[in-house]
Each structure stands twice: as structure tokens, then as C-alpha cells.
Amino acid sequence: METLGSLLLIALGAALIHNFVLSYFVGICPFIGVSRRVDLAFSMGCAVTFVVCVAATLSWTLTTFLLKPFGLGILTYISYIVVIAASVQFVELYIRKAHPPLYKSFGVYLPLITTNCAILFTCLEISKNTLLVSSAEAWGLHQALALALGGGAGFTLAIVLMSGLRQELEFCDVPKAFQGIPIVLIVAGVLALAFMGFTGSDQGLANAFRAGEVQVSALAEGVTP
């Protein structure tokens, strides 16, 4: 129960409470560039989610079994960049072969996943909770994947919301000075303000999970809480 609660907190925190795009402002390039159509935005979100999960798995494995035991923390950045580039190359080759129209729709933004700082940010968060803490407090692979899945889902949610709003903006009378990127940045700022409403809810969820654990323990012992 405790493990499940902590995993849910990590995933929900990355997706909603501390959304990578709208709270930390990472991954802005594809967020702005590939948010013109909902279907394309969703496909990009799925591609980024897959890449970030693969990169998180590889970076956790690399950190746990190589960088930390041998004191090679100085190689963290370059190691993660190599891991991310290899993951993106794998996804690009697959999409090019299996879905050529989708590959053409992505254009230059698919290779640019390599430089998507949201993926590197995820790997560095995993490093912070693996490399810079004691072995007893270090994250396991399940926690790293929870962060990756939550971060990918949050990126997908943000880019799909933005694409839907941008499609609606096409039917609006936007002043000439705000047409194009200016109105997109304003909408992104409003979205970021909206997501600030989730601030503090992680503490409430943590308290709810703790209360649930107490009730389950009491029921297991045959005591009415």
C-alpha cells in the first residue's frame, strides 16, 4: 500500500502538480512547434512518453550499477545525453518504417526530441534521487518509471490542451499584434496559471494515503479504527 501510494504521488506530481512544461518550462520547443493539430500533438506526446520511459530505465540502470558504485558522477550529463540520443534514434527508425505519414508530419521536431530538455530533466531528477542520496533512500526502477510515465503523461496533456486551444484560436478575432507566437505564449501562461491550482494537493494526497494505510492496518488486525 505504501509503495503504491508513493508511486501514485510521484506520477501525479510529475503529471499535474509539478507539470514539466507548465511548472518547470522544459520541453517548450515541441510544445510550441507541434501543437497546431490535436492528432499530431497527441502522437508527439506518445513518442516523448515512450522515449522518456526508455531513457529513464537506461539512466537509472547506468546510475545505479555504474556511475554511483565507481564514483563517476561527473559523467552524468554526457552519459544521459548519449542515452537519450540512442533512444530517440530507435524511435525515429521505428516511426519512419512503420508510419511514414506520421514521420513526415513530425518533420524536424522528431529528431529534436533528442534536445527536448524535459527528457534530460527527468533523467537528472532520477539522478538526484539515486546518485546524491544514500543507498537506503535511493529510488528503485519502479519509482524512476513512475516519474517518467507521469512526466510523459503531463507533457502529452499540456501539448494536447495547447493544440485544442490553438485550433479554437483560428476562429477568433485576434489582434494583429498578437497573432502567431505572441498569443500562443499568452495562452501557455494562462495554462500555467491554471495548473498552479494543483499546488499543495500532493500533501493532501499523501495524508489521504497515510489515513488509508492506517485503516487497512487496523482492519488487518481486527480493530475498528
Task: Quote the pTM value.
Answer: 0.87
Q: What is d(CA 120, CA 27) in angstroms, rounded to the nearest whole number?
A: 10
CB distance 159 to 46 below 8 Å: no
Q: What is the DSSP letter of 3?
A: H
What is each CA distance from 96 to 103, 131, 204, in whole angstroms?
A: 5, 36, 44
Reading phi first (left if > 0) and then psi (alpha if -120 to 50, else beta), residue 140 is in: beta
Averaged confidence pLDDT in the chain: 88
pLDDT tens digits for range 169-190: 988 899 999 988 899 999 999 9
Determine the average pLDDT of the residues in 130-143. Answer: 91
pLDDT tens digits for range 43-70: 889 989 989 999 999 999 999 999 999 9
Please tell me the predicted confidence (pLDDT) of residue 222.
66
Q: What is the DSSP letter of 36?
A: S
- Domain map of the chain by residue range? 2-220
Please tell me the predicted confidence (pLDDT) of residue 24.
93
pLDDT tens digits for range 139-173: 999 999 999 999 999 999 999 999 999 999 988 89
Please tell me the predicted confidence (pLDDT) of residue 29.
86
Q: What is d(CA 129, CA 139) in angstroms, rounded to the nearest whole number?
A: 6
Please tell me the predicted confidence (pLDDT) of residue 58.
94
Determine the average pLDDT of the residues in 197-209. Answer: 81
pLDDT over threshold 70, residue 225? no
Please tell me the predicted confidence (pLDDT) of residue 1.
46
| Environment class of 84 (CB within 10 Å of its CB; exposed 0-12, middle 13-18, buried 19+) | buried
Is the sign of the CA dihedral 17, 22, 23, 24 positive or negative?
A: positive
Q: What is d(CA 5, CA 66) in angstroms, rounded to the nearest whole number?
A: 29
Q: What is d(CA 155, CA 31) in angstroms, rounded to the nearest whole number?
A: 8
pLDDT tens digits for range 8-17: 999 999 999 9
Please tell me the predicted confidence (pLDDT) of residue 193.
94
Percentage of the chain surpassing pLDDT 70? 96
Determine the average pLDDT of the residues in 196-208. Answer: 82
